[in-house]
Structure 1
Amino acid sequence: MAENQDIQRALGDAAARQLANATKTVPQLTTITPRWLVHLLPWIGVEAGIYRLNKVKDASRVLTACSQRDERDLPETFVDYDENPREYFLSAVTTVVDVHTRVSDLYGSPHDQIKEQLRLTIETIKERQENELLTNPEYGLLNNVHPDQKISTLSGPPTPDDLDELITKVWKEPAFFLAHPKAIAAFGRECTRRGVPPPTANLFGSPFLTWRGLPLVPCDKVPVEDGKTKILLLRTGESRQGVVGLYQPGLPGEQGLGLSVKFMGISRKAIASYLVSLYCSLAVLTEDALAVLENVDVGKYHDYQPEYR
């Protein structure tokens, strides 16, 4: 009985915690990804939100000749241009963040409420940006593959032969493969089964599987439907006539490439509003800068696809 009384006289954990300062994290958001596609693309600032892609009209009409030593007849030629070049227009991903001034005034320590609201919103907008770079009906990668640059796997899971065939489509300085993590895992299993496990390379401090020296970059925005997905191969850079990202520079309230945050004022109900905008697009400069392996089998399952609003 005396022992129980001693225990009851001691300060309990629950009461003691009321005097302790808990270390608080910033809000964690599970939908944040590395967004490797955004990091690996070269970005070009465009004026007035328009990028005009000029092309040679007919390369076969550009005549050249290698003359013999005693010959002086030279071909005459000129390079004609496409009279109706494609123009890319920047699209906007926007939202308005509302924060009651009472909340930001009273509960701003240890973490600034407005700063965290904007940080989480910006992360979500950037996730939507990467999704648009892949699936946008006008400029998305998956919707801008030339028919001659599409191949289909015959054996189900992606094989080394499939990726080799993909390289033949983008053989001029290819940069990287882009695939859903489940497709990369399926490729790794297939390589191991064949006794040719793919090497690993470190980029940006993270390990990537590689094939023929090209990294397989994971991206959860590549759609997976009924256990089927696609693997892309890209050449990047304007000087290489590859794939480039487009953004609007010099925006008021600029927070990054094409990203701006603008204070919209405080309403009569004491709601402070902030407009968050991101302007971007993507251009495939030549048809052979992009190829896709279709009908890639990663197993019969229904994968979670995040809903973007």
Structure 2
Amino acid sequence: MADAPPQLALSDVAARQLANATKTPPQMSTITPRWLTHLLPWVPVEAGIYRLNKVKDASRVTVACSRRDERDLPETFVDYDENPREYMLSAVTTIVDIHTRVSDLYSVPHDQIGEQLRLAIETIKERQESELLNNKEYGLLTNAAPGMRIKTRSGPPTPDDMDELIARVWKEPAFFLAHPLAIAAFGRECTRRGVPPATVTMFGSQFITWRGLPIFPCDKLGTEAGKTSIVLMRTGESRQGVIGLYQPGLPGQQGMGLSVRFMGISRKAIASYLVSLYCSAVVMTEDALGVLDNVEIGKYHDYQHLYSK
């Protein structure tokens, strides 16, 4: 057997034993920009309850143009709903467990407890955005008024469909919210018709617009059988729009409605942290939220792996 050739220099494998690898924090593909939670105005509530008072019948509030005769002045009053809806904050929670040996020995250069909590909080915030849209009690899709829901004319979202949605939410609309595949389908329809939508830079990112209104992507708008919905909303309490609710002043508060509390160490040396986020959403008047349903997004199965949770 022939002798192996002599090693002329230190090998890469051996040299790497003396080198420090640059380590990244854990990356998680399910993290999204969460534009809805960024764009909603958030209102603090006391005791986790928000009562939405409404006028019972606005058409009964009568006024008249003066004829310079005070005897012709009408008398009126504004009556209120005697059973206003009350919104209770709901909680998105989890418990993060970590062995004290792991946090003691392996927290350089990245703190193990901090990274575990960071990723758990990111996951909770992703769930929060999903609940804001899909929760059976307060979700925006659930609470859109029947008269504010329309369907596409021909399948993919067209400029005509978007215009009809704007006609529903015509009082100071703020933005569209759509699944990324719905935005792509709308872009194709605009290009096919020779009216490519304009773009705008907001928050350091590019978004397409329609009639000057930005269209923000959100993968929490569900897809079923290759179809989804597009949402248009007016926002803000002063505009009688859509708002988010949160609980201020929580013990261990880490953000709006977000709390992290240490629960102790078990006899097996497991440290536990309770992570809670309290939130809800309100559509203050029916005309603040419009929904375009039955939006076809093309060959969804070709992209399904990108949006599966």
Q: TM-score, normalised by structure 1?
A: 0.96
The answer for the alignment partner of 1:147 in structure 2 is 146
How far apart are residue 2 of structure 1 and its match? 11
The answer for the alignment partner of 1:265 in structure 2 is 264
The answer for the alignment partner of 1:35 in structure 2 is 34
Contact 1:42 1:245 in 2 (8 A): yes
The answer for the alignment partner of 1:18 in structure 2 is 17
The answer for the alignment partner of 1:54 in structure 2 is 53
Q: Following the alignment from structure 1 to structure 2, what is the Cα–Cα distance between the partners of residues 136 and 2?
A: 72
Three-state SS of the structure 1 residue aligned to 2:47 is helix
Please tell me the residue identity of whatever aligns with 1:96: I
Please tell me the residue identity of whatever aligns with 1:204: F
Contact 1:166 1:291 in 2 (8 A): yes
The answer for the alignment partner of 2:295 in structure 1 is 296
Aligned positions, number: 305
Q: Following the alignment from structure 1 to structure 2, what is the Cα–Cα distance between the partners of residues 31 and 173?
A: 33
Three-state SS of the structure 2 residue aligned to 1:66 is coil
Three-state SS of the structure 2 residue aligned to 1:15 is helix
Q: Following the alignment from structure 2 to structure 1, what is the Cα–Cα distance between the partners of residues 117 and 240?
A: 36
The answer for the alignment partner of 1:224 in structure 2 is 223
Q: Following the alignment from structure 2 to structure 1, what is the Cα–Cα distance between the partners of residues 60 and 17?
A: 82
Q: Following the alignment from structure 2 to structure 1, what is the Cα–Cα distance between the partners of residues 3 and 209?
A: 69
The CA deviation string for residues 248-269 of structure 1, in whole angstroms up to 9 with x for no partner, is 0000000000000000111111
Q: Structure 1 residues 56 and 70, CA, compared in 2 at 3 Å: closer, same or farther? A: closer
The CA deviation string for residues 136-184 of structure 1, in whole angstroms up to 9 with x for no partner, is 0000011001000011111111000100000010000000000000000
Q: Following the alignment from structure 1 to structure 2, what is the Cα–Cα distance between the partners of residues 76 and 68?
A: 15
Mapping 1:110-125, distance limit 5 Å = 110-125=109-124
CA RMSD of aligned residues (A): 1.4
The answer for the alignment partner of 1:83 in structure 2 is 82
Contact 1:261 1:276 in 2 (8 A): yes
Please tell me the residue identity of whatever aligns with 1:62: V
The answer for the alignment partner of 2:127 in structure 1 is 128
How far apart are residue 71 of structure 1 and its match? 5.8
How far apart are residue 214 of structure 1 and its match? 0.3
The answer for the alignment partner of 1:172 in structure 2 is 171
235-244 or 72-81, which deviates more: 72-81
The answer for the alignment partner of 1:66 in structure 2 is 65
Q: Following the alignment from structure 1 to structure 2, what is the Cα–Cα distance between the partners of residues 234 and 51?
A: 20
Contact 1:43 1:246 in 2 (8 A): yes
Q: Following the alignment from structure 2 to structure 1, what is the Cα–Cα distance between the partners of residues 237 and 38?
A: 16
How far apart are residue 67 of structure 1 and its match? 2.0
How far apart are residue 68 of structure 1 and its match? 1.7
Three-state SS of the structure 2 residue aligned to 1:47 is coil
Please tell me the residue identity of whatever aligns with 1:293: L
Q: Structure 1 residues 87 and 70, CA, compared in 2 at 3 Å: closer, same or farther? A: closer
How far apart are residue 49 of structure 1 and its match? 0.3
Q: Following the alignment from structure 1 to structure 2, what is the Cα–Cα distance between the partners of residues 70 and 281?
A: 50
Three-state SS of the structure 1 residue aligned to 2:23 is coil
Please tell me the residue identity of whatever aligns with 2:186: F
Q: Following the alignment from structure 1 to structure 2, what is the Cα–Cα distance between the partners of residues 164 and 208?
A: 18
Unaligned runs of 5+ in 1: none
Q: Structure 1 residues 58 and 43, CA, compared in 2 at 3 Å: closer, same or farther? A: same
Percent same amino acid at aligned positions? Answer: 77
Q: Does 1:287 align with 2:286?
A: yes
Q: Following the alignment from structure 2 to structure 1, what is the Cα–Cα distance between the partners of residues 180 and 299?
A: 15
Three-state SS of the structure 2 residue aligned to 1:280 is strand
Q: Following the alignment from structure 2 to structure 1, what is the Cα–Cα distance between the partners of residues 181 and 228?
A: 9
The answer for the alignment partner of 2:103 in structure 1 is 104
Q: TM-score, normalised by structure 2?
A: 0.96
Three-state SS of the structure 1 residue aligned to 2:245 is strand
Three-state SS of the structure 2 residue aligned to 1:244 is strand
The CA deviation string for residues 20-67 of structure 1, in whole angstroms up to 9 with x for no partner, is 000000000000000000000000000000000000000011010002
Q: Structure 1 residues 70 and 78, CA, compared in 2 at 3 Å: closer, same or farther? A: closer
Please tell me the residue identity of whatever aligns with 2:214: P
Three-state SS of the structure 1 residue aligned to 2:51 is strand
The CA deviation string for residues 181-218 of structure 1, in whole angstroms up to 9 with x for no partner, is 00001001110111110000011000000000100010
